[in-house]
Chain A
Amino acid sequence: MRNVFQPESLPELWRVFEAHPGASVCAGGTDLLVKMRSAMMNPESIACVDRIPDLRGITTEEGGMLRIGACATHGQIVSDPAVRRMFPILVRAVENLGSPPIRNMGTIGGNICTASPAGDTLPPLYALGAEIELRCKAAQRRMLLKDFISGPGKTCLRQGEILASVRLKPPEGYYNNIQHFEKVGQRNALACSIASLAALLQVASDGVVLKAALAWGSVAPVVMTCPDAEKELIGKPLTSETLRRAAAAARQCANPISDVRADRDYRLEVLGNLLMRLLEVAPESAPARDY
């Protein structure tokens, strides 16, 4: 027997936590139920958080900050007009996540708290410098997503604390005119990533890279960022030569494993190769270099 609670508000949730300190949080359950079936977890009680209004919805706050509730489903994210306008990179990552039923159930909060190096929302969120909001009965805190995830499956979530939202700063001035995401999986749907790349670039009309933020999934214990690779791009024209140097830097930085999906060598080669695709992605509108 297992207790399942469906609190309708945060105060109700806090009461559940008080009565059942060991309760597992369940949002869409698409990770949790898999773990329970394979006996990796056997929680005595479950608190479903998907009905709590404070954790839902996608809203634009003062200052243009976009707040994505932790319980926003992937399906909601993909179809949200503000996300689609400002953060196509996130849309691209999420529209390939799982399958339609998984996207209808699974949430961004669940993807973050699972903290898998293969979590598909993570590379774009890292590249975007996402901030998260944590709540417990007594307090609220904010931190950068990259500081929240400390290892595969590890976060600094405390007992009685939940992830409430993800916050994305609107891009200043010009949008990144290249927002690219690619996942390499074993098939085109329902595929756990073997390697993925999220790339945000600002490329001037003369082809020179003004800004670059890169993040890779599944090539290290946590999502990998690589300032060395970014440095290879910034201030240089976006050519195969430049990208090859960035790829070499990224390979230096990575530490992929071999697993049932692919071996280390394949991941090493591909994580660099993925950068070459940027040659193919046409910038949306090129800002002038002196911006």
Chain B
Amino acid sequence: MLEVGYSVPRFDARSKVTGEEKYAADCFPEGFAWGGVKRAGIAHAKIVGIETAPARALAGVIAVLTHQDVPGTNRQGLVHKDQPVLAAEKVRHWGDPVALVIAESRETLARALSLIRVDLEPLPGVFDAEQALRPQAPLVHESGNLLLKGEIRAGKGEDALGECEIVVEETFEVPFQEHAFIETENGVAWQEADGTICMHVSSQAPFRDRFEIAHALGIDPLKIRVSSPYLGGGFGGKDGATVQCLLALAALNSGGRPVKMSWDREESFVAGYKRHPVRMYYRLGARPDGTLHGLHCRLYWDTGPYAHLGGEVMELGMEHAGGPYRIPNTEIEGWCVYTNNPISGAMRGFGVCQVSFAFERVMDLLAKKLGMDPLALRIKNGLRRGDKNCCGVTMVHSTGIVPCLEALGRHRLWTERDEWKRSAGPFKRRGTGIAAVLNAMGYGRGLPDSAIARVELTPEGKIRVFCGVVDMGQGNSNAFLQIAGEILCQDSSCVELVHPDTGRTHPSGSSSAGRTTYTYGNALIRACEELKAKLFHRTALFLMLDEPRGLALAPGAVRHLPTNREVPLAMLGKSFPESDRVCISEYVMPVAQDVPDTGKDFSIGFPHVLFSHAAHIACVEVDELTGKVTVEKYLAVTEGGRIINPQGFEQQVHGAVGQGIGYALMERLMMKDGRILNPDFTNYILPTSLDLPDLDSIAVETVEPTGPFGMKGIGEVGINAPLPAIASAIEDAVGAAVNRAPISAACVLHALSGRERANDADGGVQR
């Protein structure tokens, strides 16, 4: 039986494990051709000419297209439309697409791409956000390198730091991060006889894709149909067009044949989106008793050559720049800047992951300076319901950071930490570190966060959920079937799912922002309740009841409890026309009612009002001989309201911590003049199962009254804490500050030798 609150096995587990499940990458329609892209191969240059004749002349080449063949604006982008489908005058990063080829086979495609000559006049490039703002910096766009300057201010702003007895100050840097999904960007598109472009694509936002394609190519958005099956991972990297506009362009030029495009791993690295690198200047001030009083920060976000969601990522980061704390006076400044680096955009933690490192590190600095216990300092200043956050927005929904920290404080990893540290073996040092984080849910003000659910009783008596929001692997569709099964009392064999398809399902927003289960789940609850009422009414007709009372749903039937008579769902399903077997309902996420008089630079997305919270502790062991850091033990305490599926919850926590450990210790994109030197999994190092600790996970189950069954989204919050917690633990172990990620063994070894080797005759090595 599908009960909410219970670890119902995932519906997709079996088909995914056996390989039966078909991803977009598994779609090979009859008679398809291959599409592929010629990329710049230089970070910044003027396009003088594109020689396509030799490629066109190659047997098996169906079309070679350049910017001249792009109808419409040739501009894609979600909020700012600044990214060409095919570059025209300039290339602005290494992976910029210059020509699109359609060919009979992959081999011919590769050969044709190698025959295209792009005549480029190199331009000086700029590869650092702050340098890009200097007056003499090369211009990535004519309009200047500043995409967006934002400011959030509360109370007295920066001036309050003058009133603080204690001020700590530090600069932090966080790197690019690759989404590294297993299924790279891919899809298939074709044109129907009536001119409609159909696309089956690995996308987090099929409904929005139509508008992006339509704008770029000058087509009617309603003549585009996009469908997305399960994704082999997304993490934000498929939120916004990847292959979509290129595929639509190909479909317009393939003579009606389907065109398949699938980036290989290297192309995914070079052309795909990344997490924004950020440099963060922080100053945090407090009173002598540890009460936070003022925060000033300047944040420089490198968005690469195109906006993607750069402004929105920066906005969310700035909104979280003060962490889960009560800070009455804040001044948070941000610059989102164009460079010739790879394109940065949405990624799990969406700006929050970056600032979490900075605010948790300055909290540690402050604790040290105050001589205060870092946990006590956090609990003292932790946001409680009714408090205002660092933007001046009142927390009116469930606010669980203090319960998370208290649960952490009771856990043996915290209470027994000194003993654990003392028992380090030879050549090992141990340290522990904590981090408290939060993550907003939903789109924020200015962009209604809505979903429309459709649920149907099929003629066979099954419950069919039409889901308009993608499942990229996080398990939201599982939660949806569980919700439908719970309300309608059906087991897993009686519920089925229709994947997002702009032709069959209703627009329900992107799979992102911790909103997916919350928003669609709420809409679905309403639709299921309506269907239930309808089934009761129709059953009453069958049973000749005076009124639809005493009825209950049972597996496969509606039962009249007083008489134990049943009407099978299959009978109900066959008795009524489709229009009567369907219920559709919608939901819009609540927004902040006390919009502060700040953050005016953000056209959408400011502020948010619903947050999930987490407190993590990392216990690390550092090897003195190699600098190697091992995360030995780890605890994640997560507050995200009630839990629909404990296993799904755990999987999100584990995945987020694993990805966060990679971000903290290993994942380093190596760049030279805008070129990625390690665009593959041989040298871009992701953690393996042997690099991850056994993870303890505790759920602090608050109730979020607005959430479906009291839940909130927790897919993102867990990735924000590993880096600051691990950095803090390393600092605890080696006694040197860690302000930059990823934290390599070399830099830890350096810190160790810098501190001790110099004056300790025994080389810091004791037996």
Which residues of A are in contact with B by a Cβ distance under 8 Å?
Answer: 99, 184, 186-192, 240, 244, 260-263, 265-266, 269-270, 273-274, 276-277, 279-280
- State whether A260 touches B677 (Cβ < 8 A): yes
- State whether A187 touches B625 (Cβ < 8 A): no
Segment from B287-295, B405-413, B466-474, B687-695 that makes contact with A = B687-695
- State whether A188 touches B683 (Cβ < 8 A): no
Residue of B426, B753, B765, B767 touching A269 (CB-CB under 8 A):
B753
Closest to A184 in B: B626
Given contacts A187-B686, A240-B763, A280-B767, 18 further A-B contacts (CB under 8 A): A99-B688, A184-B745, A186-B685, A187-B666, A187-B691, A188-B691, A189-B688, A190-B688, A191-B685, A260-B670, A260-B677, A266-B749, A270-B625, A273-B625, A274-B626, A277-B427, A279-B426, A280-B425
Please, could you name 13 A-B residue pairs with CB atoms under 8 Å apart, sorted by A? A187-B688, A188-B688, A190-B688, A191-B685, A240-B762, A244-B763, A261-B683, A266-B745, A270-B626, A279-B426, A280-B426, A280-B427, A280-B767
- State whether B688 touches A276 (Cβ < 8 A): no
Query: What are the nearest 7 A-B pairs in CB distance?
Result: A188-B690, A273-B625, A266-B746, A189-B688, A186-B685, A189-B690, A260-B683
For B687, what are the chain A residues with a Cβ–Cβ distance below 8 Å? 187
The CA-CA distance from A152 to B682 in the complex, in Å, is 19
- State whether B691 touches A276 (Cβ < 8 A): no
Nearest chain B CB to A257 CB, angstrom units? 14
For B765, what are the chain A residues with a Cβ–Cβ distance below 8 Å? 240, 276
Nearest chain B CB to A4 CB, angstrom units? 17
* Contact flags B658-680 to A (C-beta < 8 A → 1, else 0): 00000000100010000001100
Closest to A192 in B: B682
Closest to B110 in A: A39
For A240, what are the chain B residues with a Cβ–Cβ distance below 8 Å? 762-763, 765, 767
Nearest chain A CB to B693 CB, angstrom units? 11
Closest to A190 in B: B688
Nearest chain A CB to B256 CB, angstrom units? 31
Residue B504 CB within 8 A of the other chain: no
The CA-CA distance from A263 to B426 in the complex, in Å, is 26
For B426, what are the chain A residues with a Cβ–Cβ distance below 8 Å? 279-280
The CA-CA distance from A261 to B670 in the complex, in Å, is 10
For B686, what are the chain A residues with a Cβ–Cβ distance below 8 Å? 187
For A276, what are the chain B residues with a Cβ–Cβ distance below 8 Å? 427, 625, 763, 765
Residue B628 CB within 8 A of the other chain: yes
- State whether A184 touches B628 (Cβ < 8 A): yes
For B624, what are the chain A residues with a Cβ–Cβ distance below 8 Å? 273
Nearest chain A CB to B673 CB, angstrom units? 16
- State whether A269 touches B691 (Cβ < 8 A): no
- State whether B763 touches A260 (Cβ < 8 A): no
Nearest chain A CB to B53 CB, angstrom units? 25
Residue of B627, B670, B690, B767 touching A187 (CB-CB under 8 A):
B690
Closest to A34 in B: B682
The CA-CA distance from A58 to B314 in the complex, in Å, is 60
Q: Given A187-B690, A260-B677, A277-B625, check contact A270 B682 (CB 8 Å).
A: no
The CA-CA distance from A186 to B685 in the complex, in Å, is 7
Closest to B682 in A: A192
- State whether B690 touches A262 (Cβ < 8 A): no
The CA-CA distance from A61 to B459 in the complex, in Å, is 74
For A191, what are the chain B residues with a Cβ–Cβ distance below 8 Å? 685
Nearest chain A CB to B762 CB, angstrom units? 7
The CA-CA distance from A190 to B686 in the complex, in Å, is 10
For B763, what are the chain A residues with a Cβ–Cβ distance below 8 Å? 240, 244, 276
The CA-CA distance from A277 to B767 in the complex, in Å, is 10
Nearest chain A CB to B46 CB, angstrom units? 29
- State whether B678 touches A269 (Cβ < 8 A): no
For A99, what are the chain B residues with a Cβ–Cβ distance below 8 Å? 688
Nearest chain A CB to B543 CB, angstrom units? 60
Q: Given A187-B685, A187-B691, check contact A262 B746 (CB 8 Å).
A: yes
* Contact flags B620-640 to A (C-beta < 8 A → 1, else 0): 000011111000000000000
The CA-CA distance from A263 to B767 in the complex, in Å, is 28
For B762, what are the chain A residues with a Cβ–Cβ distance below 8 Å? 240
The CA-CA distance from A251 to B753 in the complex, in Å, is 17
For A269, what are the chain B residues with a Cβ–Cβ distance below 8 Å? 749, 753
Query: Which B residues, 584 to 606, have Cβ-Cβ distances below 8 Å to chain A?
Result: none
- State whether B678 touches A260 (Cβ < 8 A): yes
Nearest chain B CB to A165 CB, angstrom units? 30
The CA-CA distance from A263 to B670 in the complex, in Å, is 13
Q: Given A186-B666, A186-B685, A274-B625, check contact A279 B690 (CB 8 Å).
A: no
Nearest chain A CB to B463 CB, angstrom units? 41
Closest to A37 in B: B264
Nearest chain B CB to A202 CB, angstrom units? 21
For A277, what are the chain B residues with a Cβ–Cβ distance below 8 Å? 427, 625
Nearest chain B CB to A196 CB, angstrom units? 11
- State whether A273 touches B626 (Cβ < 8 A): yes
The CA-CA distance from A223 to B753 in the complex, in Å, is 27
For A280, what are the chain B residues with a Cβ–Cβ distance below 8 Å? 425-427, 767
The CA-CA distance from A99 to B690 in the complex, in Å, is 10
The CA-CA distance from A265 to B628 in the complex, in Å, is 15
Nearest chain B CB to A104 CB, angstrom units? 16
Closest to A188 in B: B690
The CA-CA distance from A41 to B681 in the complex, in Å, is 20
The CA-CA distance from A280 to B749 in the complex, in Å, is 19
